[in-house]
Structures are given as C-alpha cells and as structure tokens.
C-alpha cells in the first residue's frame, strides 16, 4: 500500500492498482479514455516521488523532464504527489468544422479550422472532446500543404463518439481538441533504405499524411504503402493514391482486400491482409522506417514481425487504434 497525494489530498493506493484507478475509486473526476497508455488524455504532472519509466513512454523529452506521466499505466514503488494539468498545458484548442464528407459507407472525413495556428507533424494525433467523452484521431493533413486539419473517422457500431461525429456534428460547429501528440511521423534518418507504411481501415489517415510528408521532404528511396480493407468498397482514397503513385516513381501503393479471393480481385488490387502483402513485397526491412496504424492486433503482429525481419525498434512507429476502456 502506498500514498497518492492529488491536488493536496491524500489517498491510499492498493497494491497493483494504477494511480488512475486509485483516483477513480475515490470518486475523483479525472479525464481518461484508453487506459492503456495510448491516448495521453489522462496525463498529469508529478511534483514529488518516482515515476516508473513505462508511465512516461512516448511523451516528449520536455514533458518527461517536467514530470508529466500517464496515471493509467503508472504503478509507482513509493508515494507520489501529483497535480492535474490546466487547459494550456493540455494544449487545448477550439476548432470549427468546415467540411464533413463520407469517403465510403463507414469512413467520415472531417476538415477542421483551428482557432490558432497548430504546430504539428502529419501522422500525429489529437484528442477530441464531447463533454466528458474523449477519443483520439490521427491527423491526415500535411502542414504547409493542407490548410485545414483532416481526420478520418470510422463509424463503429454503438460507438459513442464516432456516431456523434457522423450523425450529429454539423459544418460550422465548434469542437474542442487537445494536442498534437504522438511520434508516428516521418523522421529523417541517416542511411535509411526505404519507408514501409501498413494500415487498415481508417489507419490510412496518419499514413496519408506521413507518405506525403516524406515525399514533400524529398525522400527518394522506395516508399511502400499497403492499405487493407475487407472489400474494394471499404477502401478509400484509391484514386488519390494512384495519382500520387504516378507522380512519384519511388512510391508504390498496394490496396489489399482480406475477404476477396485472388480470382475475384479487381484490377491492381491484392488479396490478403496488408501486413502479409507488405512483407511479401519487402521481405527484409533492416534500416527501413516502418509505420503501422489501425487495428491494434494487426499493428502488434506486424511490429513483432518487422522486428524479426531486421527492423530496429527505434525505426518502427506504431499507432494502434486502441478503443476506449469500457471499465
């Protein structure tokens, strides 16, 4: 048993309980979503005590040095004194919906104008708020090229946020976001041999940004993008990606269909999961920069396989679209 002092009041933390769960058990209202360290919506600041390294993973170095940490994955050895972040430190912004467009039956594209210039890299994510509801969405837009922030939202059956965005939010509405966050963006690395991007469903959002960012920065080595969906109707941005392929000979696009037999494939499409198609195209990935986004299981499996095929963990940038915790 150890102690958590939050905003000056002390609470007993049970063994094996996270700091977040301890606060919630004591009736304290704190923001959170994924409860797995992926979304950063719960980030707080420590003022005294030792934070285990896993609770600061993926935070910026400046944030780590200020004692920011993720209480949802934090089980400290000893006592902790912590405080909540104010809106400024949470990087909260107001945005206006300027375009709402369905890219297929289940994917909504939202374009948003930010009330102040937002510094971000294509592929990072923001947290979007609807009252107490918080969900993360990746930035598909490319700063300097796209005027608006662009999100691709997959409608999830019974999904609280995705259905609200698809059905209720209107052009002209104001929304609150926080961010940008995350490390899933193009990094220039010495000696890299290529860039492999693998995504499923709306996992194309960050990859659409990352690939265009790399090309805009003059990346000349091969770029392979494998985007997966069940059928051709579930894909999107096919024409846009084909145009990008024509304009850049080093870029190859592989639309992958998991539920379509090879004999029934539309022209130019591939049968199978995007990760399988990716490694069939590129069996060795040492010194390749790898981007993995979308379904958490696919991202996890592909990360392990990429590592076994020679990729360094520091070259693998993964954003599993972990759903919010239902606890």
Q: Which residues bind ligand FES (CB under 6 A)?
A: 32-35, 37-42, 70, 72
Q: Three-state SS string across the chain, please?
A: CEEEEECCEEEEECCCCCHHHHHHHCCCCCCCCCCCCCCCCCCEEEEECCCCHHHHCCCCHHHHHCCEECHHHCCCCCCEEEECCCCCCCCEEEEEEEEEEECCCCEEEEEEEECCCCCCCCCCEEEEEECCEEEEEECCCCCCCCCCEEEEEECCCCCHHHHHHHHCCCCCCEEEEEEEECCCCCCCCCCCCEEEEEEEHHHHHHHHHHHHHHHHCCCCCCEEEEEEECCHHHCCCHHHHHHHHHHCCCEEEEEEECCCCHHHCCCCCEECCHHHHHHHHCCCCCCEEEEEEECHHHHHHHHHHHHHCCCCHHHEEEEECCCCCCC
Q: Does 204 sit near ligand FAD (CB under 6 A)?
A: no
User: Could you say which of ligand FES, ligand FAD, none residue 35 binds, taking C-beta under 5 to 8 angstroms by partner kind?
Assistant: ligand FES
Options 93, 111, 152, 303; binder of ligand FAD; rule CB under 6 A: 152
Find the shortest distance in angstroms from Cβ 182 to ligand FAD. 6
Options 53, 132, 158, 247; binder of ligand FAD; rule CB under 6 A: 158
Binding segment for ligand FAD (CB under 6 A), chosen from 6-14, 50-58, 157-165, 211-219, is 157-165
Q: Does 125 sit near ligand FAD (CB under 6 A)?
A: yes
Find the shortest distance in angstroms from Cβ 138 to ligand FAD. 4
Go through the chain and tell me how many residues it has: 327
Q: Which is nearer to ligand FAD, 13 or 121 (CB)?
A: 121
Options 135, 212, 303, 317; binder of ligand FAD; rule CB under 6 A: 135
Binding segment for ligand FAD (CB under 6 A), chosen from 8-16, 68-76, 96-104, 133-141, is 133-141
Find the shortest distance in angstroms from Cβ 26 to ligand FAD. 24
User: Could you say which of ligand FAD, ligand FES, none residue 251 binds, taking C-beta under 5 to 8 angstroms by partner kind?
Assistant: none
Q: Which is nearer to ligand FES, 315 or 319 (CB)?
A: 319
Q: Which is nearer to ligand FAD, 265 or 322 (CB)?
A: 322
Measured CA to CA, the distance from residue 275 to residue 321 in angstroms comes to 16
Find the shortest distance in angstroms from Cβ 300 to ligand FES. 17
Binding segment for ligand FAD (CB under 6 A), chosen from 114-122, 155-163, 171-179, 300-308, is 155-163
What is the binding site for ligand FAD (CB under 6 A)? 34, 38-39, 125, 135-138, 152-154, 156, 158-162, 202, 205, 319, 321-324, 326
């Amino acid at each position: 048993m150890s102690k958590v002092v939050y905003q000056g009041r002390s609470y007993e933390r049970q063994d094996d309980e996270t700091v977040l769960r301890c606060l919630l058990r004591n009736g304290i209202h704190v923001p959170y979503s994924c409860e797995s360290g992926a979304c950063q919506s719960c980030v707080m600041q420590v003022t005294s005590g030792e934070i285990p390294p896993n609770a600061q993973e993926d935070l910026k170095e400046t944030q780590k040095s200020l004692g920011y940490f993720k209480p949802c994955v934090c089980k400290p050895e000893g006592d902790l004194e912590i405080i909540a972040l104010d809106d400024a430190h949470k990087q909260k912004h107001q945005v206006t919906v300027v375009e709402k467009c369905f890219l297929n039956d289940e994917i909504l594209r939202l374009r948003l104008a930010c009330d102040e210039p937002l510094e971000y890299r294509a592929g990072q994510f923001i947290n979007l708020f609807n009252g107490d509801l918080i969900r993360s969405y990746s930035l598909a837009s490319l700063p300097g090229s796209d005027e608006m922030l662009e999100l691709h939202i997959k409608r999830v059956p019974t999904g609280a946020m995705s259905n609200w965005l698809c059905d209720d939010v209107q052009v002209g509405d104001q929304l609150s976001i926080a961010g940008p966050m995350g490390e899933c963006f193009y990094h220039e690395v010495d000696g890299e041999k290529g860039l492999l991007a693998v995504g499923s469903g709306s996992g194309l959002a960050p990859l659409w940004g990352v690939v265009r960012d790399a090309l805009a920065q003059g990346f000349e080595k091969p770029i392979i993008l494998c985007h997966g969906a069940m059928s051709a109707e579930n894909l999107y941005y096919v024409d846009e990606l084909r145009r990008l392929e024509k304009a850049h000979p080093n870029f190859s696009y592989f639309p992958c269909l998991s539920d379509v037999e090879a004999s029934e494939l539309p022209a130019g499409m591939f049968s199978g999961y995007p990760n399988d198609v990716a490694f069939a195209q590129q069996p060795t990935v040492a010194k390749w920069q790898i981007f993995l986004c979308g379904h958490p299981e696919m991202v996890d499996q592909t990360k392990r396989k990429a590592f076994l095929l020679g990729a360094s963990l520091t070259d693998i940038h993964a954003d599993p679209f972990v759903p919010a915790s239902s606890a």
